[in-house]
Structure 1
Amino acid sequence: MTVTDAAGGPSGTDAIAPSRTVAVVGAGTMGQGIAQVALLAGHRVRLHDVAPGQAETGADAILSRLERLVEKGRLEEDARGAAALRLERTTEIAELADSALVIEAVVEDLAVKQQLFRALEEVVADDCLLATNTSSLSVTAIAGALRRPGRFVGLHFFNPAPLLPLVEVVSGFATAEDAAARAYETARAWGKTPVRCADTPGFIVNRIARPFYAEAFAVHEERGADPATIDAVLRECGGFRMGPFELTDLIGQDVNEAVTRSVWEAFFRSPKFSPSLAQRRLVESGRLGRKSAHGWYPYEDGAERPEPHTAPATEPPPHITVEGDLGPAQALVGLCREAGITVHEEDEDHGTRILLPSGGQLALADGQTSAEFRDVVYFDLALDYRTATRIALSASEVTGWETLRQSIGLFQALGKKVSVIGDVPGMIVARTVAMLVDAAADAVAKGAASPEDIDTAMRLGVNYPVGPVEWGHRLGRAWAHELLDELHARVPTGRYAPSLGLYRQSYVRMKGDQSS
């Protein structure tokens, strides 16, 4: 099936009524969070765990969190008391027999999950919806062990489940449409924002997000910039809430690398998802991030956080000449004039660039390198050039010092900090965004999810400033394709080859518009 049939949300299907019982199997952190969500939605919840005392411990943790909500004024005392009465603990599968929905949140092991759901099939009614919270295993493979796989669906909550709004509703190969629709409506009734997707590796978020980490690690491995500088550029120029190095330190390097490796293996080791050797070495050394007091950054007591590279102050050029339309960077024309820099504009057919008094030029990152041209400095893509507080520039050994100096001074005159990085094609933000746009286009083309659900998932699931589909539209239909084409010519491993989905969005549709 393709989930685009349900774009915008299913209709004609009811959520599971609050009067029905919901069971959660697995009383760990995720199980507790899901149980709390169902409990506050009005359901009787049975928290099940086979480990002695685990269900009791998990239930106590839920009740403690509800008490804290009361103390903070976010929950009425009467509501807390009623919820406490609806929460039950159990260690016996047979006690889940009257459940309308069972959500599993146990260890990420295919055989364990298959065995669990086979046992559940023996006790629950035929109309009971069965769901897995897996983030890395195939929903189709888990359901393959069942007699009635049509009622089986993925319900992937994000941690912490009570706080994060996103739920990925995953349809396996055999999932019936009415089962997926009911799961979707139930998640929505619980106050969540559900998105529909097919059972592909990584679902939406873990699939589309891979380039955000991979491109930063690649720039680091290519000696383009250090982690602190890359993080700062992606935050202060790209608009991302956290940089990939600090984010993976927070997640855990072992956890993040395991997800990357899982998606890579599931896509038959596609170069699009290749893991990072630098991250592998970090994991092998035991530097797992905050939890081990050292990852990309040190976290020991008294450790100083490395600062991003920032160029010293220099004078801006008195005037520039802009040839052609700067496309995504056109806002720089107005910003330069506001900063008192005289701007001459010329309508040229042979390219778009900023000419400097030195005789050199500035150009928006396009997948090429400064070493290929005489006296060129590249500047990185920004989410918004007016609000960006940092810009990355790249130059090579053949770039004139005066051209680099004037380039630094120009952006500093606009109120930006400047980080000069190595001569890497596509720089930092530009190549990352192009790869995210390509990943989204590929997922849409293959029926993994609708454009709307992809953008919703990436904004809510990983706090991207803009969904990759919308970002691609803002940049222009062919921008990402052209940049990746140039990158692919310089790194011909297949990693940067534009997907067929991106090609169709960029050129096929554009040619159709031109002919109409």
Structure 2
Amino acid sequence: MTAHFNHTALEEGSIVAVIGSGAMGSGIAQVAASAGHQVILFDTRVDAAAKAIAAIGKLYARLVEKGRMTAHDADAAKARIRVAATLADVRDCVLVVEAIVEDLEVKRCLFAELETIVADTCILATNTSSISVTAIGAELRRPQRLVGMHFFNPVPLMALVEVISGLATEQQVADTVFATAARWGKNPVHAKSTPGFIVNRVARPFYAEALRLLSEQAAAPATLDAIMVDCGGFRMGPFALMDLIGHDVNFAVTRSVHQAYFGDPRFTPSVLQQEMVNAGFLGRKTGRGFYRYGDDDVKPAPQSEAVQLRPETVSVSVEPGVNHAVTGLIAQRLAGAGFTVAHRKPLPGALEHEAPAFHCNGAAIFLTDGRSATERANANKHPDTVLFDLAFDYAGATRIALARADQCGDAAYNAAVGLFQAAGFIVSRIDDVPGMAVMRTVAMLANEAADAVNQGVCSAAAVDIAMQKGVNYPRGPLAWTDAIGVRQVVTVLSNLATSYGEERYRVSPLLRRKLAGTAAGTRFYA
């Protein structure tokens, strides 16, 4: 007999079971109870579920204190959660969410036992963050009712839920879980069961490029973090975030994704992070990572250039057919600082897209295109070349990163520093590495997001929602690609590939396809 699954949200008042009462399980129970479900919480550890319910009650009380929940609603929600004495107590559930140890065989055994208890119409969901949903369900009698329901920690606060379909998962099951997560106040996204799903796959470059920059001595962690936050618009810098996550956890995820993709160089783990793990410098939980976390330790200040004289004049060279949005925004800040920004044509015979660029005191100042400033100076035959990094919002950014060519004279570089300082930026210098910090990171995030879409893992909208709601990026990678321009992203990646000679920076076929269509206005979003 074929079981029938709805594709609408589970009804309020229906019974949901949560297996595992740790941080994730108790968070899922809290959210489900708040949405009006009867919740059964089961844990094999003695008294663990009862203690979790007591802790949930305290969390509800805090919400009442903050005015985010009425006392009546809090009491009613807590009353809807009860402890299951044995696994058999979940027999009447319409949904069982597993949040136990990340071990394939343990999860398989649990779901095999659940199949003997619950009805055929009960949906089985796993909160796994890294194990194949297909593999978990492979030995089930009815694998079509198993789906991934990947929440993010802390569950009550994080909006994203990845709804993961294995090869056998019935579409109506995934649709029901999607609709249910939405009714619980979450932002669900559909994805196929592939290594890392969406977030843990697409986020790898955020850490990987930072670790690469540090290993190449581009700047200290505090400076790179400040650039990513104050210039890139990210909520937390990569080094502070890795310290928060724990280097053992972060490194393990990277290794897992790398191995699952059969050694794809895009996911190559960092030797530097391996050394952090080897040393036991795991981050906040051990008191030391890239930063120290003792009571008397003070986080180091980011490098900021000394104040330089404001240049007397500045001009901007323009080139027909080139996107001048970035130079236009900076020019507006310069105009607000009292500069008259003259426009000029590119120099006769200029090479390699000499425009758009700012010019002052002999310095030619370009947005990075993935080459080092030294490479670009050599190609342009202009020694006094300075590069600036990508910013999330040039109108509001408080910091900008600059890199100077090895050939660049002090007078020209100092003029460039003084120019950006006059426009209200704190200037941080990084060593002359290809692609700088924000630009190469965003380009790699966009590349990975495009590959996920190209391979049918998820839609463009899903990957952008996932990265904004799951890891708090200021903009989805593909929306950011539209803002920068597909041509700029492909150029950066191509130049990184040439500079490093590595497959790590190969361009996604979807980005190349979008670039070929830009003449007709092809973008990820209309």
Tell me the TM-score range normalised by the shorter chain.
over 0.9
Q: Match of 1:361, SS? A: strand
Q: Residue type matched to 1:365 in 2?
A: T
Q: Distance in 2 between matches of 1:113 and 1:269?
A: 26
Q: CA RMSD in A?
A: 1.7
Does the 8 Å CA contact 1:353/1:361 hold for their aligned counterparts?
no
Cα deviation for residue 248 of structure 1 reads: 1.1
Paired residues, number: 503
The structure 1 residue matched to 2:314, chosen from 311, 316, 320, is 320
Match for residue 112 of structure 2? 118
Indicate whether 1:311 and 2:309 are aligned: no
Correspondence 1:5-24 to 2 at 5 A: 13-24=7-18
Pair 1:340–1:81, CA change in 2 (3 A): closer
Q: Match of 2:168, SS? A: coil
Cα deviation for residue 481 of structure 1 reads: 0.5
Does the 8 Å CA contact 1:441/1:502 hold for their aligned counterparts?
yes
Match for residue 451 of structure 2? 442
Structure 1, unaligned runs of 5 or more: 1-11
Q: Residue type matched to 2:78 in 1?
A: A
Correspondence 1:79-478 to 2 at 5 A: 79-324=73-318, 325=322, 326-348=324-346, 350-354=353-357, 356-372=359-375, 373=377, 374-478=383-487
Cα deviation for residue 316 of structure 1 reads: 2.1
Q: Distance in 1 between matches of 2:519 and 2:331?
A: 29
Cα deviation for residue 346 of structure 1 reads: 2.2
Does the 8 Å CA contact 1:477/1:505 hold for their aligned counterparts?
yes
More divergent stretch after superposition (196-205 vs 55-64): 55-64
TM-score (norm 1): 0.94
Match for residue 489 of structure 1? 498
Cα deviation for residue 296 of structure 1 reads: 0.4
Does the 8 Å CA contact 2:287/2:293 hold for their aligned counterparts?
yes
Divergent runs of 4+, >6 A: none
Does the 8 Å CA contact 2:7/2:173 hold for their aligned counterparts?
no
The structure 2 residue matched to 1:68, chosen from 62, 78, 85, is 62
More divergent stretch after superposition (100-109 vs 264-273): 264-273
TM-score (norm 2): 0.92
Q: Distance in 2 between matches of 1:327 and 1:43?
A: 50
Q: Match of 1:269, SS? A: coil
Q: Residue type matched to 1:370 in 2?
A: A
Does the 8 Å CA contact 1:198/1:449 hold for their aligned counterparts?
yes
Q: Match of 2:94, SS? A: strand
Does the 8 Å CA contact 1:408/1:418 hold for their aligned counterparts?
yes
Q: Distance in 2 between matches of 1:189 and 1:354?
A: 50
Q: Residue type matched to 2:455 in 1?
A: K
Q: Distance in 2 between matches of 1:503 and 1:370?
A: 25
1:174-203: per-residue Cα shift (whole Å, max 9, x none)? 110000000011111111111111111111
1:335-392: per-residue Cα shift (whole Å, max 9, x none)? 2222223322124484314353432311111111122222211111111111111111
Match for residue 3 of structure 2? none
More divergent stretch after superposition (356-365 vs 200-209): 356-365
Q: Distance in 2 between matches of 1:163 and 1:414?
A: 37
The structure 2 residue matched to 1:46, chosen from 40, 44, 50, is 40
1:92-148: per-residue Cα shift (whole Å, max 9, x none)? 121111110000000000000000000000111000000000111111110112111
Q: Distance in 1 between matches of 2:83 and 2:115?
A: 20
Q: Distance in 1 between matches of 2:76 and 2:231?
A: 48
Q: Match of 1:333, SS? A: helix
Does the 8 Å CA contact 1:154/1:171 hold for their aligned counterparts?
yes
Q: Match of 1:164, SS? A: coil
Q: Distance in 1 between matches of 2:281 and 2:374?
A: 35
Structure 2, unaligned runs of 5 or more: 1-5, 378-382
Q: Distance in 1 between matches of 2:46 and 2:327?
A: 61
Q: Distance in 2 between matches of 1:63 and 1:95?
A: 22
Cα deviation for residue 250 of structure 1 reads: 1.2
Does the 8 Å CA contact 1:318/1:342 hold for their aligned counterparts?
no
Cα deviation for residue 69 of structure 1 reads: 2.3
Cα deviation for residue 16 of structure 1 reads: 1.0
Q: Distance in 1 between matches of 2:405 and 2:258?
A: 33
